[in-house]
Structure formats: C-alpha cells, structure tokens
Amino acid sequence: MGMHCLMEGAPSFSVVDYCVFGGTLLLSLLIGIYYACRGQHSNDEMLLGGRNLRVLPVSISVMVSFLSAILILGVPAEMFMNGAELWLIFMTAIVTVPIVAFLYVPIFYACKLTSVYEYINERFASPALHGIVVASSLIQITFYMALALYAPALALSSTTPLTLEMSIIGTAAVGTAYTAFGGMKAVVWADVLQAAIMAAGMVAIIVQGAINVGGFGNIFTISAKQDRLNIFNFNFDLWER
C-alpha cells in the first residue's frame, strides 16, 4: 500500500521526457542497425571493433559502463540516508586504475587477446581453472545485470504507465538488439550518446537542486547540519555500519 501511494504521488513524464527517453532508445537502436549494415561480421569486428576505435569514445564507454542506474540512483540515496563516507570506496580507483592501465591492458593488447578468460586459458592451460573463472564471472554478471536493469525499470515504472515487467523487457530488448546488431562499435557509440544525455541530466539536477536550497554552498551547509558530511570514521566497532 505504501509503495502504491508513493508511485501514485510520484511526478509523471512530460512530453519532453518521453521524447528524450524514446529518442535515446531509438538512436541507440539505429546505431546498432547502422553498424550492422556496414558488415560487422567477423569476431574481431563484433567483439573488438576492428581494433581501430578512438581513445576518447572508448574511454567514455568504459566510464558509462560503471555509471549504471545502480550508482546514479543508489549513491545519492546512500549518502542522503547514511552520509558521505561511501566516497572512500571510489578512492580505491587511485590505486587500481593505474595498475590496470599500465600493467594489465598492455599485456592483453600485445597478446591480441579477446578477453581475460582467453588469457587465463593460454597462461595456465587448465580447463578446470578456465571453467571455474568463466562460471563465477557469469554468475556475478547475471546478478549485476539483474540489478542494473531493475533500478532504471523501477524508476521508469514509477513515472510512466509502463509496468515494472514491461520496463525491464523493453530496456533489455533494446540493449540486446543494438549490441547484437552492431557489435562493439555500436556499444561504444551508443554509450557516448547515453553519456551526453546522462551528463546533461546530472548537471540539470545539480543546478536545479542548488536553486531550490538557495545556492550551491547551502547544499554543503545543510548536509553538515544534518551530519551527512561524515567522510572519515575510523571507529573499528564491527557492529557500526
């Protein structure tokens, strides 16, 4: 009952919202069809984009891969409810990103590998190890994709006449279609399109939010008063969240 009332009171999509959402899905699908018509038939073209993609679109695509609805919806909610200490998790990127960029990626690229699973198979020559790694990864990706689809579908079903099931099926179908049609090039350029729309939306939210509270500085003032800027907590109590 509470969820039903919440959904009834939620703001609904306007004509502009429908145009942006529908246009994003349509353009993403058209990108896949465009690259399909250009003959993305070989494994190298489908999985690696022919190894001739530019640095900037690939970088944006990698970034967008981590900016799922789980992060965009979940992180603000987490910090609103429990404070900003979650930011420490993202500090690990200072260590992990250089290691991946300067150690692992050059090795994979020089070996002309398609995936890390191929590397493991070549490096250790163990079918059992290869099978365990692939199976565990498939399980992890399956659970992650379920959540990644559920989060935007829940938001969509709360603001449109679409049901939760229809939202999940629709977004999954479009994503699967342009990936299957156009391969890696379609994925990269669809991600670039979606990144531009996501960036515009986040900037609009920040600007409008600052206006609503009387200025950008007031965001931090109000957060501090409500004890939401607890960015460091070195308490070793295992029972504390």
Exposed/middle/buried for residue 152 (C-beta within 10 Å: 0-12, 13-18, 19+): middle
pLDDT bin (cut points 50, 70, 90) of residue 224 is confident
Count CB-CB contacts under 10 A for residue 24.
Answer: 17
**Residue 7 resides in a domain:** no
Interacting residues of 174 by C-beta distance below 8 A, sequence separation 6+: 25, 28, 29
User: Backbone phi, then psi, for 236, in 5-degree steps?
Assistant: -90, 15
Q: Report yes or no: 186 and 104 within 8 Å, Cβ to Cβ.
A: no
Residue 121, domain extent: 42-225
State pTM to two decimals.
0.79
**Residue 93 resides in a domain:** yes
Percentage of residues in the chain having pLDDT higher than 90? 17
**Residue 238 resides in a domain:** no
**Residue 12 resides in a domain:** no
What 8-state DSSP symbol labels residue 165? H
**Residue 125 resides in a domain:** yes
> At residue 41, does pLDDT exceed 70?
no
Average pLDDT, the chain: 84
144-177 tens-digit pLDDT: 888 888 888 888 888 888 888 888 888 889 888 9
> At residue 105, does pLDDT exceed 90?
no
Calculate the alpha carbon distances from 197 to 25, 64, 151 in Å.
Answer: 12, 11, 18
**Residue 115 resides in a domain:** yes
Mean pLDDT of 44-49: 78
Q: 101 or 8, which is more confident?
A: 101
Mean pLDDT of 109-126: 86
> At residue 7, does pLDDT exceed 50?
no
Mean pLDDT of 198-224: 89
Report residue 185 as tokens: 């090039």
**Residue 9 resides in a domain:** no
Q: Report yes or no: 156 and 162 within 8 Å, Cβ to Cβ.
A: yes
| Total number of domains constituting the chain | 1
Q: Give the per-residue pLDDT at 234.
A: 82
**Residue 127 resides in a domain:** yes
